[in-house]
Amino acid sequence: MRDTKIMSYHNHFNYKRGELFCESTCISEVAQKVGTPFYLYSYNSLIGNYRKFAHTFSKLSPLICYSLKANGNLTLSRILAQEGAGADILSEGELHKALQAGFPPQKIVFAGPGKKEKEIECALKENIFMLNVESASELELIEKTAQRLNHTARVSLRLNPDVDVKTHRYITTGKKENKFGLVFDEAEKLYEKIKKSSLLKPVGIHMHIGSQITSSEPYLRALEKAGELFDLLKEKGLDLQYIDMGGGFGISYKKGKPPLDIEELAEKIYPLIKKREAKLIIEPGRFLVGPAGLLITQVLYKKRRREKTFIIVDAGMNDLIRPSLYDAYHQIKKLKEPDEAESDETVDVVGPVCESGDFFALGRSLPKISEGEYLALMDAGAYSFSMSFSYNARPRPAEVLVKEDHWWIIRKRETYQDLIKGEVIPDELFSSSKDSSAKNFSTISPSKREVAIFPSQKEPIFDLIPFTKMQGSGNDFIVVDNRGKIIKDRENFSKRVCSRKKGIGADGLLLLEESDKANFKMRIFNPDGTEAEMCGNAARCIARFVYLKGIAGEKCSFETLSGPISSYMNETQVKIRMKDPSRLHLNLKLILEDGSYEGHYLDTGVSHFILFVPEVEKAPLEKLGPKIRYHPYFQPQGTNVNFVEVERNGLKVRTYERGVEGETLSCGTGVVAAAIIADIVRGLGSPLKVKTKGGGLKVYFQRRDKTNFAQVFLEGEAKVVYEGRYERKGK
Ligand code: PLP
């Protein structure tokens, strides 16, 4: 019979045709493209583990809060958020990541024995589901903060039930000698305080007794204690509803060592929860992501000594610290399927880091390994990348997600630039004056020195909104990833940030938001706060933004108010497929005060009026632009106005933009409208080069008949100008 316990989570890593595959992707092909070391995750393994877990506990309809500390990668977290999971967090940083990943605040629980006041404040402001409190002083601080913010705080106390879970001593958290939680009597007393407080609202009882637990028994003992406290407190009139049993569900790292039998656990805890009519919260981390990830590394050298043979690989303890820290065991597999006929050899698999503790396996019997070949450290999805660091100035590895035969880099390998990010060399220390160095340094006022050395520690991180300033053919935008809804009042925010004098300054604000139809949704706000339907330059910028941030690949599709857009990346050039043009109106005569003007109208996602002029530089844009924009024919929305000169090799275009209420250096949809109209009235054909003040663009299209066009593409540059953080003024 198959060992069903070992298979109780999803395995999508198998040898096919002599190579290790993840789903339908050959891992060594990814390794050749991405370089090593890198983490690789299986989408179907992750989602399968979550579904299996949810299904097993479904009789109790629990709130499953994924423990972000296991692996906080945004893509993996988002996959779980979309499956309906909530999040268990330990810090403000994790709160920030959880919101970015899309976990709703009402499904976020916050544990940890050392929460700072700022972290508590932030959790209260974000209105998360509950704070799991670990000491009397923390409860006091939460109450004070709630009072200051005029907010009630939903709290549970973390019970330390004093049970031994028989795991590594560093990951045991529910014994009374561990720093975590409150023992029974302390908790009982503190719940009295909660009962009396008008600012604290009791939610339930929390526990987390350890990690990599492979037997149900400690959970049952802990839940019995929690149940006893729950009953006692209910008798005392506390309105408790939830029992949060934490995480800790063990997986199988080693052949023959089965994982926790979660079916048995679910069965056994059922009566304990049901009898109290309590609602259940569970916080799995490792069980969901652990078996879904591998660390792929390449063998650098094989070094033989009489005593032993070392396999020196290019991943180190900084990439995966579990063996060094916990003596953890990870199976090691060759990406090339080993030849069964060949005998194994006993080796130490070690990394390049300058520590003797830098190893992945000691005295392990493995199939013959050669220099240059790839190895996989199995079950490395949890507490692996999330515990990585850059000791020995080793950039942290890339992360890749595989789904069937597709794969994406979901986190880029760190660069050498990343390694020195935030470091500041005080100029005064190295000034060339004679008596520089120590003397000069000591003359800097203490406050100046502090700012110079530790600038980032002065910043209230959570109130700063990360943005990327981009430009596409001279149209400049502020791009913000708003999937975590960090910006709610979009209109006012746009007015503030787009202001050239008081804000960052831009032609528009681009918000990346959730979409259930495409990779994401792009929303564009003008500097006057109005929302625009579409802008070709903006679309190129956001396509490059999602690519650079690892949110989407070289090809992606996104929603806009004017319909779906697809994009294709080619280094800094981005080609986007535009909406098929519509509402063509040729030879439209507009009567203005000073005469009549004949032009053409086309909707390329946005309204455009095209006026051919002999010399675009001399066109009266400032005078005519606003008059045509507000002409009654185009009301109520108004139109953009393009002045177009036909040149030998293409067009020259200047655009007056509605919303910006002035000339911009270039307008993507305007350029497309100009090219199509130029083809209709002057027969210029496709592709057509267009010069704007912001740079060159290329328009591609297919003409179906005289006035019907399809397959319209706009190609041009999209560049990052800089990244920064903008201080939020109230929410
Ligand atoms: N909940 C809390 C409070 C934790 O501290 C942890 C991990 O340390 C977890 C849940 C997740 O544990 P595991 O990954 O073992 O399921």
Among 78-92, 322-336, 570-584, the range scoring the smallest mean pLDDT is 570-584
Beta bridge mates, 644: 612, 653
Among 165, 209, 283, 386, residue to substitute to test ligand 1 (most atoms within 8 Å of Cβ): 283
Q: Which of 328-332, 421-425, 441-445, 537-541 has the highest mean pLDDT?
A: 328-332
Atom of ligand 1 nearest to the CA of 286: 14
d(CA 540, CA 535): 9
* Parallel/antiparallel/unpaired status of strands 688-692 and 709-717: unpaired
Q: Rounded CA gap, 116 and 436, in Å?
A: 40
Mean pLDDT of 495-503: 94
How much is the pLDDT for 431?
Answer: 63
Q: 242: buried, middle or exposed (CB in 10 Å: 19+, 13-18, 0-12)?
A: buried
- pLDDT band at residue 9 using 50, 70 and 90 as cut-offs: low
Of the two residues 453 and 555, the one the predictor is more confident about is 555
Instruction: Verify cis geometry, omega within 30 degrees of 0, for the bond prior to 636.
Output: yes
By the 8 A CB rule, do 520 and 546 touch?
Answer: yes
User: pLDDT over 70 for what percent of the chain?
Assistant: 94
Pairwise CA distance, residues 703 & 708, whole Å: 6
- Structure token pair of residue 269: 């805890």
Token pair of 130 as six digits: 């509950």
Pairwise CA distance, residues 409 & 34, whole Å: 8
What pairing do the DSSP bridges indicate for beta strands 153-158 and 130-133? Answer: parallel
What whole-number distance in Å separates Cα of residue 358 and Cα of residue 352? 8
Which tokens belong to 77? 């977290």
pLDDT of the residue at 346: 97
Indicate if ligand 1 lies below 6 Å from the C-beta of 214: no
- Which residue bears the tokens 């579904």? 51
Task: Tell me which residue of 507, 538, 508, 506 sits closest to 522, measured CA to CA.
Answer: 538
**Same CATH topology for 8-42+291-411 and 463-578?**
no
pLDDT digits (tens, 9 = 90+) for 544-576: 999 998 888 889 999 999 888 999 988 789 999
User: Can you give the pLDDT at residue 550?
Assistant: 84
At residue 293 the predicted structure's pLDDT band, cuts being 50, 70 and 90, is very high
Reported as a single tens digit per residue, the pLDDT across 74-107 is 999 999 999 999 999 999 999 999 999 999 999 9
3-class SS of residue 230: helix
Contact 75/401 with Cβ under 8 angstroms?
A: yes
In the set 26, 354, 541, 556, the catalytic residue is 354
Q: Quick check: 585 and 599 in contact, CB under 8 A? A: no
Q: Is 388 in the pocket of ligand 1 (CB under 6 A)?
A: no
**In this prediction, what percent of the chain has a pLDDT beyond 90?**
80
Better-scored residue on pLDDT, 62 or 580: 62
Domain spans, the chain: 8-42+291-411, 111-284, 418-456, 463-578, 582-717
Considering the four listed CATH numbers 3.90.550.10, 3.20.20.10, 3.40.50.12500, 3.40.1390.20, the one that applies to the domain covering 111-284 is 3.20.20.10
CATH architecture of 8-42+291-411: Beta Barrel (2.40)
Digit-coded pLDDT (tens) for 660-695: 899 999 899 999 999 999 999 999 999 999 999 999
Element (H, E) at 567: strand 563-570
Query: What is the tens place of the pLDDT at every residue in 456-487?
Result: 434 344 568 999 999 998 889 999 999 988 99
Average pLDDT value over all residues in the chain: 91
C-alpha distances in Å from residue 276, one per residue of 236, 245, 252? 15, 14, 33
- Taking only the tens place, the pLDDT of each residue in 358-386 is 999 999 999 999 999 999 999 999 999 99
Query: For residue 427, what pLDDT is reported?
Result: 76
- CATH class of the 463-578 domain in this structure: alpha beta
Domain 582-717 fold: Diaminopimelate Epimerase; Chain A, domain 1 (3.10.310)
CB 320 within 8 A of CB 329: no
Angle between helices 92-101 and 74-82 (to 10 degrees): 60
Nearest CA to ligand 1 atom 15: 248
The DSSP-derived string for 361-373 is EEEEEES---TT-
Residue 110's pLDDT band (boundaries 50, 70, 90)?
Answer: very high
Record the pTM.
Answer: 0.63
pLDDT at 707 over 90: no
Decide whether any atom of ligand 1 lies within 6 Å of the 158 Cβ.
Answer: no
Residue range 156-162: mean pLDDT, rounded: 96
Tokens (6 digits) for 464 = 């700063």
Could you tell me if the CB of 285 is within 6 A of ligand 1?
A: yes
CA distance 584 to 601: 6
Strands (DSSP E) found in 25-123: 25-26, 38-42, 63-67, 86-89, 108-110
Residue nearest to atom 10 of ligand 1 (CA): 247
Between 196 and 437, the more confident residue is 196
pLDDT band per the 50, 70, 90 thresholds, residue 145: very high
What end-to-end distance do the CA atoms of the chain give, in Å? 59
Residue-level pLDDT at 432: 56
Site to substitute for ligand 1 among 9, 49, 64, 69, most atoms within 8 A of C-beta? 69
16: β partners: 19
The answer to whether residue 446 scores a pLDDT higher than 60 is no
127 and 105 Cβ atoms separated by less than 8 Å:
yes
Task: Give yes or no: 354 in active site.
Answer: yes
CA of 111 from ligand 1 middle (Å) equals 10
C-alpha 530/C-alpha 351 separation (Å) is 55
Residue 448 has pLDDT above 90, yes or no: no
Whether the CB of 159 sits within 6 Å of ligand 1: no
Residue 436 pLDDT more than 50?
no
